[in-house]
Chains A and B, each alone.
Chain A
Amino acid sequence: MQNWYENKRFFWGTMLAPTIWFVIFFVMPMALVWIYSFGENNGLIDVEITGTFKNYKHVFDRDVLQVLWQSIIMATIATLVCLVLAFPVAIAMTFADDKTKSWLLLLIMLPFWTNLLIRTYALISVMGAQGLINMGLLGIHNFLLGAGLDVGTFEPKQLLYNKTAIIIGLIYVHLPFMVLPLYAALDKLDRSLIEASLDLGAGHGETLFRIIVPLALPGIAAGIVITFIPAMGAYLTPDLLGGPNDLMIASLIERQFKRANDWPFGAALSFLLMYITLIFFALRSYFEAKGGKVSTGH
């Protein structure tokens, strides 16, 4: 069975259906969008494929670049915060006993299995003007007033509909994407390497930065890539949590296909996101090739 794919009849018997599915519902639409990105609007509905690069040039307009830049900044911040939050979690999971480990894993996965819309509205109800946080602050405020302190009147904090809200949302949604590859990398790590480091006189911090982090680098790279890519292309989160001017690239794309009715430009923007994704995957496989060489050491 090891060389099952060498049997042509068996191979095509099992692979034909998925291949057809993949071609019809993935390759062809993507190809169509890609072709659109070289087209021009002709009247209201017609698009003429003229082979122009106009749409890609349009990407470098100042307002478009600004949205792109903003998306990159927000996705980067979210990814880095995810990394900082996820690393201790992944370490805790690695060193926990089997029972605690499966509980922690469940806690990480539970939001992951919940509908994104529900999770986003849950976040809104926490961060809203009448939300959990503001109610808590109001409680503290009233307590301080009761204690005779002059703290003035309570103004609910504006937590939603700004960039910070988007970033918090992105972190919340994408944290599992970071925890899982980190955990996978750390769990593979030979424990005796950590003990050897301690044995040779290194403290816990030194062991973390000199041994654990370098050896977890492929996992860190994988985590960054699979967190950054969906965060960069996030649509729902910025749409619901951001203010009217806090556009991310996905919202801009949506506008081209709907309100602006500029399919060629929308297609070019979509593919811009694809190109960025591909660059990230190239970087990731570069890191993995480098990391692979390291991890064959034991």
Chain B
Amino acid sequence: MAEVSDETIIKIENVTKRFGKVAAVDDVSLEIKRGEFFALLGPSGCGKTTLLRMLAGFEVPTEGKIYIDGVDVSNIPPNKRPINTVFQSYAVFPHMSVFDNVAYGLKFDNVPKTEQYSRVMAALADVKLEHLADRKPDQMSGGQRQRVALARALVKRPKVLLLDEPLSALDAKLREAMRFELTALQEKVGITFIMVTHDQDEALAMACRCAVMDRGRLMQLATPSSLYEFPSNKFVADFIGSVNLFEGKLVVDEPDHAVIESEEMGGKIYFDHGVSGASGESMWVGIRPEKIELIKRVEGGPRPVMEDAPEDCNVLKGTIKQISYLGSESIYEVVLENGRKMQVSRPNLSRWDQEDFTWDDNVWLCFHGDSPVLLQN
């Protein structure tokens, strides 16, 4: 991990951006730390790109303020901001060589010619392109052009580097390799990276912290593991990874445990911890597929009991209807007694595990008291 300080480099304060009547970004406030690899994550149209464009200076916030390193930049044009962007299309200048592309931004910083040369070559070395300095962009692959765009932005030594969907245009293998390379590069240069992506895997794999956005609003800001394990609302739980969502009523609400009765699931869900802040009649519970255990069920056999939950909680009856074998794991679609479907995943730890269950097997579905999460609607 790169050196992340406690210092705030970017502060977004109650920023709203309206296009006509539509609020593309709706009252978003967040802070980004110096040296952080930050991700803005959300489905298309969630406002993440608009927020990025406001950071770069291509859009002006309708309301609110943006501070970079303590300076209010809300009305400062893009060419005067200590921030550079790697565009989704890379936007490499087609009429210039790789060297001239990278040197372009230095002309406006009054860097002397000799220093320009060494800085350009160093930036090209950082992205492993020093041998292609004389090439024209049309003689390069997409991946190489992206590196040119990276070098061109980094050579300016910006305080913050913005990356707009950096991996979306690459093919699958290259994408995977580029993930590691981008994180390594970020560690090496120590510049704050802010990445916009719709791909949750990308965000979880690369970022120190992610801001999940939906319909212009910030839904949750947390580390990747917190987003996955402790989603604060239904949207985040559903958007990050897969989840089984059930609506239910809070029937027991104690400081150290709680029970939700869900008609939709056909059973009771026991939490081995208090659910402070829970309010309202109806609420949502999410359970991740890998946090559910499958046990073979024989007609007339005993009902299993979870050691950390009361007898009648966290155990359900079902039948396997679909199986997706994915190699490292298998995903089972189980139909509950009331007809509702649930997803359960199971790692194939040995080479024979996938043969334990087959279609139409009757099963028990069990989960621990710390597995379900209570979600705000």
Interface residues of A, Cβ cutoff 8 Å to B: 190, 192-193, 195-203, 206, 210-211, 214-215, 293-298
Contact = CB atoms under 8 A, between A and B. Distances in A.
Given A202-B108, A297-B137, A196 B85 contact: yes
Contacts, number: 81
Nearest to B82: A201
A293 B79 contact: no
Given A192-B89, A200-B105, A293 B152 contact: no
**At the interface, is chain A mostly helix, strand, loop or mixed?**
helix
A294 B92 CA distance: 12
Nearest to A201: B108
A196 B2 CA distance: 27
B87 A200 contact: no
Interface in B83-135: 83-85, 87-89, 91-95, 104-105, 107-109
A295 B85 CA distance: 22
Interface in B145-160: 149, 152-153, 156
Contacts of A200: 79, 84, 104-105, 108, 152-153, 156
B339 interface: no
A196 B156 contact: no
Contact of A198 (B79, B88, B93, B156): B79
B78 interface: yes
A294 B95 contact: yes
A294 B88 CA distance: 20
A214 B96 CA distance: 10
A195 B78 contact: yes
B136 interface: yes
Contacts of B138: 293-294, 296-297
B58 interface: yes
Contacts of A295: 94
Contact of A294 (B57, B94, B153): B94
B56 interface: yes
B91 A195 contact: yes
Nearest to A193: B91
Contacts of B83: 199
A196 B105 CA distance: 10
B326 to A, nearest CB: 37
Interface residues of B, number: 30
Contacts of A201: 79-80, 105, 107-109, 156
12 contacts: A192-B91, A193-B94, A195-B78, A199-B153, A200-B79, A200-B152, A202-B79, A294-B94, A296-B138, A297-B94, A297-B137, A298-B94
A196 B85 CA distance: 7
Contacts of B58: 195, 198
A206 B286 CA distance: 54
Given A206-B108, A298-B89, A199 B56 contact: yes
A274 to B, nearest CB: 34
Nearest to B81: A199
Nearest to A298: B94
B77 interface: yes
Contacts of A211: 93
A215 B94 contact: yes
A198 B83 CA distance: 11
Contacts of B89: 190, 192, 298
Nearest to B85: A199
Nearest to A214: B95
Contacts of A215: 94-95
Interface in B49-85: 56-58, 77-80, 83-85
Given A293-B138, A297-B138, 12 more contacts: A192-B91, A195-B56, A196-B152, A197-B104, A199-B56, A200-B105, A200-B152, A203-B79, A215-B95, A296-B138, A298-B89, A298-B92
A201 B152 CA distance: 12
B92 A297 contact: yes
Contacts of B84: 199-200
Nearest to B139: A297
Contacts of B109: 201
Contacts of B79: 198-203
A185 B132 CA distance: 29
A176 to B, nearest CB: 28
A216 to B, nearest CB: 11
A222 B223 CA distance: 55
Contacts of A294: 94-95, 138
Nearest to A210: B104
A199 B236 CA distance: 32
Contacts of B92: 297-298
B108 A196 contact: no
Contacts of A190: 89, 91
Nearest to B88: A192
Given A200-B152, A200-B156, A192 B87 contact: yes
B93 A196 contact: yes
Contacts of B107: 201-202
Contacts of B137: 297-298
B78 A198 contact: yes
A195 B77 contact: no
A197 B56 CA distance: 12
A145 to B, nearest CB: 50
Residue picked from A200, A202, A203, most chain B C-beta under 10 Å? A200
B5 to A, nearest CB: 25
A202 B109 CA distance: 9
A103 to B, nearest CB: 20
Contacts of B93: 193, 196-197, 211
